[in-house]
Amino acid sequence: MSLNTLEEIAQYIVSDGKGILAADESNPTCGKRFDSIGVESTESNRRDYREMLFRSSGMKDNIGGVILFDETIRQNAQDGTPLVDLIKNQGALPGIKVDKGLAPLESSPEETLTQGLDGLDERCKEYLTLGAKFTKWRAVIKISDDIPTDGCIQANMEALAKYAKIVQDNNMVPMVEPEVLMDGNHSIEKCYEITSKSLKMLFKCLKDEGVNIGGTILKPNMVTSGSIAESQASIQKVAEMTVQCLKENVPSDLPGITFLSGGQSDVNATAHLDAMNKIGGFSWKLSFSYGRALQQPSLKAWLGKEENITKAQEALSHRAIMNKLAANGAWNLDLE
């Protein structure tokens, strides 16, 4: 498959049920993950961990793209091979997180606006030379009693659209991530309402900016109950409401929707994806762009020890295989 156009790149990443490994944790976030296994977050430990992931045999055929953090796209493996080349050798495309994280929103300081439009064009030009084929920008929408405000949704979706346009002008595929957080005790209906509102605004802004939808990937949350809500929606209900919300708001020429896992357990994230693909009836590929739900079992097996590398790689491979099955609606719990 040639990968000359934005459309071809986007389609390749999600071809045949492949998905994305999100390994773009910032250094502070990586530090939190390493704290949980008692490993110090040094540059070389972060490199060793990511090298271990990218050399896993299950990357091949199951992972179409890997999102990296700025530090990682510049790092070499222990034998001197650029980590970007390890990814390409597995048949996956390197991607890069280009936003600069969250800052309080002026008009409503308990909410956030994602930063990073300043200098984005220059950063894109450099990342392209470093091998990046796609990029990611994450906007965060929080649900609580009086939030999100309309201003927060609008400001974040406008920024996502401006980002996407700049990235496409630099010949990379923008992944747009409007994450409605699971945190809270809200109902699944509330999550539906806010996710729907955010997606509507996002696609309006993308259109206004002249973004090519056929060369864009959407990375949304699933429609779920709040993480501490007393009543938790079933797998089937999450799948049905998520598919309905996407059908209502996402244009049919978008090539791929790759979900974030957002704090779901690894098996739940797979089960939800599988249930949605079993429902079917949509034109986009419905796949995964998981961070924690792909990496967690591998991180726990690794523990920073060389002798655990094989076990840790098997754990990542297993999750990658399970999620590709789910992206084809061909997974079941017995396979776990």
Nearer to ligand 13P by Cβ, of 129 and 218: the residue is 218
Nearer to ligand 13P by Cβ, of 182 and 246: the residue is 182
Are 322 and 272 in contact by the 8 Å Cβ rule? The answer is: no
User: According to CB under 6 A, which one of 168, 261, 298, 323 is a site residue for ligand 13P?
Assistant: 261
In the region spanning residues 297 to 336, those forming contacts with ligand 13P, defined by CB under 6 A, are none
Task: Measure the CA–CA gap between 107 and 5, rounded to whole angstroms.
Answer: 40
Residue 133 is a catalytic residue:
no
Tokens 């091979």 label which residue? 81
User: According to CB under 6 A, which one of 52, 243, 245, 260 is a site residue for ligand 13P?
Assistant: 260
Planar angle of CA 247, 240, 250, nearest 5 degrees: 15
Nearer to ligand 13P by Cβ, of 284 and 288: the residue is 288
Task: Measure the CA–CA gap between 22 and 249, rounded to whole angstroms.
Answer: 24
191 binds ligand 13P (CB under 6 A): no
290 binds ligand 13P (CB under 6 A): yes
Structure tokens at 134: 């796609």
Active-site entry in 51, 111, 177, 179? 177
In the region spanning residues 114 to 153, those forming contacts with ligand 13P, defined by CB under 6 A, are 138
Task: Measure the CA–CA gap between 101 and 95, rounded to whole angstroms.
Answer: 17
Work out whether the CA dihedral 112, 167, 11, 210 comes out positive or negative. positive
Are 58 and 90 in contact by the 8 Å Cβ rule? The answer is: no
291 binds ligand 13P (CB under 6 A): yes
Active-site entry in 162, 165, 219, 324? 219
34 binds ligand 13P (CB under 6 A): no
In the region spanning residues 12 to 31, those forming contacts with ligand 13P, defined by CB under 6 A, are 22, 24
Minimum distance, C-beta of residue 295 to ligand 13P, in the bound complex (Å): 8
Nearer to ligand 13P by Cβ, of 215 and 291: the residue is 291
Q: Quick one: DSSP state of residue 119? A: T
64 binds ligand 13P (CB under 6 A): no
Q: Which residues contact 10 (CB under 8 A, 6 or more apart)?
A: 134, 173, 214, 215, 216, 217, 255, 256
For ligand 13P (CB under 6 A), the number of binding residues is 11
59 binds ligand 13P (CB under 6 A): no
Name the residue with the smallest CB distance to ligand 13P.
291
Are 142 and 183 in contact by the 8 Å Cβ rule? The answer is: yes
Nearer to ligand 13P by Cβ, of 243 and 260: the residue is 260
> Per-residue b/e over 294-331, b at no fewer than 16 CB within 10 Å?
bbbbbbebbebeeebbeebbbbbbbbbbbbbbbbbbeb
Among the listed ranges 229-237, 239-247, 284-292, 314-322, the one in contact with ligand 13P (CB under 6 A) is 284-292
Residue 230 is a catalytic residue:
no
- Residues serving a catalytic function are 177, 219
Which residues would be at the binding site for ligand 13P (CB under 6 A)? 22, 24, 138, 177, 260-262, 290-293
